[in-house]
Amino acid sequence: MENTFPITYKINVTIEPEDLSKVFKASGIIRPSDDLPRLQRMIDHSDIILSAWDHKKLVGIARAITDYSYCCYLSDLAVDKEYQNSGIGKELVELLQKQIGEEVTLLLLASSIAMEYYPKIGFEKVENGFRISRKR
């Protein structure tokens, strides 16, 4: 289903940590939503932030780290539950792909509840990954 809301997409506009916190909480994604200084650092050190707005309300975010040459890590893809299943997440990913270009691989780590979603918007599941988890 495509969205029926008057959604505006923006690239690298200023995002306040309070707005990021609200969209994380409203989406169901697990992030340090109450740690505003940490959210501010997440914003400050992102290479690309794509946002979806319903008027002045932030309803979706795609936050990425990239070298613009070889790889891009999609650190956050979150859409407010009231706006999910309307194409916003897919549009954010497509806009991200346009920003990074065809030479760059787009990577992400999915939560268990999102494993069914990502193949629907063009991601291929891979098995050859490793991680060292954060302490908090």
The count of other CB atoms within 10 Å of the CB of residue 79 is 26
* Interatomic CA distance for residues 136 and 128, integer angstroms: 25
Check 9, 73, 117, 118 and give the catalytic one: 118
Distances (CA, A) of 124 to 19, 34, 47, 118, 127: 31, 32, 23, 8, 10
Q: Number of helices (H) and strands (E), helices first, in the chain?
A: 4, 5
Query: Is 117 designated active site?
Result: no
Structure tokens at 60: 């979706």
Q: Which amino acid is at 114?
A: A
Question: Catalytic positions, please?
Answer: 118
